[in-house]
Chains A and B, each alone.
Chain A
Amino acid sequence: MEGAWVALALTLKVAGWATLLTLLAGVAAGWLLARARFAGRDLLDALLTLPMVMPPTVLGYYLLVLLGRRGPVGAWLQANFGINLIFTWQGAVIAAAVVAFPLVFKAARAAFESVEPQYEQAARVLGHGEAAVFFRVTLPLAWRGILAGVLLAFARATGEFGATLMVAGSIPGRTQTLSVAVYEAVQAGQDDVANFLVLVTSVTCIAVLLAAGRLAPGRVAGQP
């Protein structure tokens, strides 16, 4: 059972970092698509949503091709920084982040679009530049919607399997997350280990979903 706790710790570490990445990228992309008008906006929206509908193994394959030793990004990272992401937990973070990204992006875009532009204009007239308007008005008003998406992304990252297995493999204690460990345990016929892992995973996911439900968007502090 000790392996299960190692896998859980690794899973939370990977999901945590992946969620942080998706938060930053998802909020930036959501804001851009909610506010900016440019050619190819719909195409960009479709591309950014793609990870939600594509099989994770396909995404994992794309990432392998991109980040692998001979891939354009992988070769560049190797040559300049000596970094190799394949079969590392950082690689698992990238895989989980890509799969979970659309959940934050979609939520952030909808949340930003629901913010009345008039509030931002009122803030500008009161003497604040664009950065202050974003952090003092836009983000606080959109925050609940974004947070709901972030929690879903965390849950998705926690349960990531396909892309993670492709990119990071299944090295116990290093890249073997809960969902991968379950698969390995079942394959090896270790039913008691599998049962325990499944239980731990289920409880984690239910807790996250309950939290996400409480933070559902729609109500702003003080408003009836």
Chain B
Amino acid sequence: MIWDVALQRRFEHAKRRFDLDVRFASDARRLVLFGPSGAGKTQTLRIIAGLTPADAGHVRIAGRSFYDRAAGIDVPAHRRQLAYVFQDYALFPHLTVVQNIAFGLQPGWRNPSREIRHAAVERWMKAFELLPVARHYPGQLSGGQRQRTALARALVAQPHALLLDEPFAALDAALRARLRDELADLQAQLAIPLLLITHDEADVQRFGDRVLQIDAGRCADTAAAPALRPAAAAS
């Protein structure tokens, strides 16, 4: 089983309460978590990445256990080796493209130098056509370049899985369609599992080997998902 996730978490803010209860298990390499805003998608992804604690449940991906309340396992976020691409990419504004991409590769308390040369970094910059902007800061990049920098930064460390939070939401419509194709092609070449969350049906069409619907903190049963989205299941 590639994805084996069961999560419960109660969020309480002021007088509002939100219960997240998400369970899914799937052998699909590409998984789309689809639902409207406020359904709990991002919180689900954050719990999987270890950025938000859960109350109960477990997270297993491709045989690795990252969280298991019953067994007392809770691997901290910085040891999970799960790549997380934030909705607005969260590129470090004080670092150049090449420094951003090399960020996870260099241990210690100092950032990679502006002049850093690293084979894997170069390879990803080449693949994503980022070499011409290697010395640029994130504020100087186009939307597409930002997304590719974020993807390169996430993938260069060879993560166990790729978690994408609305990866196309920050882009304009024309660019969105193109980058969607790019990412789909890229993922077809990569062996790592991908979990993408979105509220955009077009993402579902393109990436949904398996589609999970989430609404009001509850996730539909996996077996029901393909029936709910026949077009996506067929693609």
Contacts and interface: CB of A to CB of B under 8 A. Distances in A.
Interface of A: 116, 118-119, 121-129, 131-132, 135-137, 140-141, 220-224
Contacts of B136: 222
B157 A121 contact: no
Contacts of B81: 127
Given A122-B84, A127-B81, A223-B137, 17 more contacts: A116-B90, A118-B88, A122-B86, A124-B51, A124-B77, A124-B78, A127-B78, A128-B107, A129-B78, A136-B110, A140-B111, A141-B93, A220-B94, A222-B96, A222-B136, A222-B137, A224-B139
Interface string B77-95: 1111111101010101110
Given A123-B103, A126-B103, A127-B79, A222 B110 contact: no
Nearest to B135: A222
Contacts of B157: 126-127
B167 interface: no
Contacts of A123: 92, 103
B90 A119 contact: yes
Nearest to A125: B84
A131 B107 CA distance: 11
Interface in B96-149: 96, 103-104, 107-111, 136-140
B49 interface: yes
A177 B165 CA distance: 59
B86 A118 contact: yes
| A contact face: mostly helix, strand, loop, or mixed | helix
What 6 pairs between A and B have smallest CB-CB spacing?
Answer: A222-B137, A126-B104, A223-B139, A122-B90, A135-B109, A125-B84
Nearest to B99: A136
Interface string B27-63: 0000000000000000000000111000000000000
Contacts of B138: 222-223
Interface of B: 49-51, 76-84, 86, 88, 90, 92-94, 96, 103-104, 107-111, 136-140, 153-154, 157
Nearest to B137: A222
Q: By CB atoms of chain B within 10 A, which of A118, A119, A124, A129 has the most?
A: A124
Contacts of A140: 94, 111
B110 A135 contact: yes
Given A132-B108, A222-B140, A223-B137, A125 B94 contact: no
Nearest to A141: B94
B203 to A, nearest CB: 21
Given A125-B84, A223-B137, A118 B110 contact: no
Given A121-B77, A125-B78, A137 B84 contact: no
Contacts of A136: 103, 109-111
